[in-house]
Amino acid sequence: MGLPSASTALTVAQIHQLVGGTLHGNGDTPLLSIASLNEVTPQALSLITNDKAAKHPEQIAAGALLVHRHIPEIAAPQIVVQNPLLAFAQVAQTFFVRPSVSRGLAKDLTRGMDVTIGADPSIWPFVTLGNRVRIGARVTLYPGVFIGDDSTIADDCVLYPNVVVREGCSIGARVIVHSGTVIGADGFGYVQHEGRHHKIPQLGGVTIEDDVELGANVTIDRATLGRTVIKRGTKIDNLVQIAHNVTVGEDDIIVAQVGIAGSTTIGHHVMIGGQAGLADHIHIGDQVMIAARAGVNRSLEPNQIVSGAPVMPHETWMKAQAVIPRLPELRQIVRSLEQRVAALEAQLALATSPKLAQTVMEEQFPLL
């Protein structure tokens, strides 16, 4: 697959007009594509986000660059902006993402009773819509999507192949759901009686608010009663498990393979690293950062960085990790100190009582 190409002729001046900042160089330079710095060509736009990325400026042969500061050693036109990555995303979205075209309703659509579908849909073959499903405008449903009874999909959503939205779930506007994700499976609820596990009916639902993105093979369980909620703007990576009655706040980032147990509440702008596990019935405060593979077994106050299992302040965890490679050496030092203390105690006891000295030595060195 080649570099992404623009749908229309493009110049550096047009990019400058879109992203703002300060232009250095020829604004009439034509651009045909965008590329990463290691794949850039004289006809492509790329970006430099920090000085480390521009360690060898003489090797950069770009058509133009979005940069964090002007780099005189590079001859290509440069647009200096505060956040080159954000500017790069704006350019890609404006000039390089092909606008979607409505394909209408496939003939092989399975539709229940009282289904409502908004304007300009793109519903592919082998999609199943249950009874009383409501689909908004400009929604795209790829093959194999299942929407259960009484569920709602708002405007401009995209559900990729084999997504399952069970009954009674609600998805807001501009939500993207990648392949294999299941929204609204039963929560893991059982009560034990006389050695057997009895299922607790999971009678609640799931609410996904606007502008959420869910990766591939994410599972979001329906609530026992009430709702499991993913709030506006949150982005969830692949293979994340969110249990029943969890509430995830606005603009959170949850990285792959995270597991969140039932009835836990997470604040806004929280970042959770890959493979972290969160216990049930705890509260994570706003703007907390949880490092990868952390084990969170207690509630966390806002505005802190934590690591480790069980979780602790990140600085404490770093100090503990620095000690671990030295544990064999430290163990030997402690043994040596114990022996020296025992010898000194024996010498002191010998000065006062030879019998006491013998007893001390036998206690410290029973095998001698």
Q: CB of 284 within 8 A of CB of 268?
A: no
Say how far residue 184 (Cα) sits from the centre of its chain. 20
- DSSP designation for 84: H
For 23, the enclosing helix (H) or strand (E) is strand 22-24
Question: Which tokens in the block code for residue 357?
Answer: 């000295």
For 155-175, b/e burial (b = at least 16 CB within 10 A) is bbbbbbebbbbbbbbbbbbbb
Catalytic residue among 244, 268, 269, 281: 244
**Distance (Å, rounded) from C-alpha 155 to C-alpha 137?**
5
What DSSP string runs through 89-115?
Answer: HHHIIIIISPPP---EE-TT-EE-TT-
**What is the crossing angle of helices 12-19 and 84-91, to 10°?**
120
Degrees (nearest 5) of the Cα angle 106, 108, 112? 100
Q: Which of 137, 97, 75 is nearest to 4 (CA)?
A: 97
Count of other CB atoms within 10 angstroms of residue 225: 14
What DSSP string runs through 280-303?
Answer: TT-EE-TT-EE-TT-EE-S-B-SS
244 a catalytic residue? yes
Annotated catalytic residues are: 244
